[in-house]
Homo-oligomer: A and B are copies of this chain.
Amino acid sequence: MSRIKTCVEAIYEGVDSVASRMPAMPVSEVLLVRLLMLTAGALLREFEVKLKPYGLNDSDFRTLMMLYSSEDGTATPGRLCLLAEQKPTNMTRIANALAKRDLISRSHATHDRRQVVLRITPAGRRFVAKMLPPLFPSLVESFACFSAAERKTFERLLKKLALHIDPLVDPDATP
């Protein structure tokens, strides 16, 4: 029996079993959140296996891609933290690692000397251009079970959910 299938079955059985003893449990919500985390976790792990040969994990990769896709190839650690859902501590480590490999460079902003400016290097751009295409096939395969309509629906629901939980997850943020 394969792993994820076993997990899916265990989730349904476990939720069913607990619900019979605890009728107040919101069955539908528990199933959704468990399936969501299981699927995302599996996809993340699969993706990181693909990234490993390049010496990156998903956080490193996201950070590098944010710089790659930015207008002028630069960003501050603070902004990257915001966009990549990372804490400053970890961004420091990521930037150190990427800088050590000369994929990005570090400098100080002139107008505000507290800020650090990270910039993707030409070598960093070449690296991304080379490593990105081989990642596509397995990604396409992962979602091959969806029709175009299903893909659209799934995207719409995910986006709706993401924006809905935003204020719940981060109640102090400016709305």
Contacts and interface: CB of A to CB of B under 8 A. Distances in A.
Contacts of A6: 82-83
A151 interface: yes
Interface stretch (A93-101, A103-111, A131-139): A131-139
Interface string A34-72: 011111111111110000000000100000011011100
A40 B162 CA distance: 9
- SS of A interface (majority): helix
A132 to B, nearest CB: 6
A123 interface: no
Contact of A161 (B14, B39, B157, B160): B39
Nearest to A161: B39
Interface of A: 1-8, 10, 13-15, 17-18, 22, 24-26, 28-33, 35-47, 58, 65-66, 68-70, 82-85, 129, 132-133, 136, 138-146, 150-151, 153-155, 157-170, 173-175
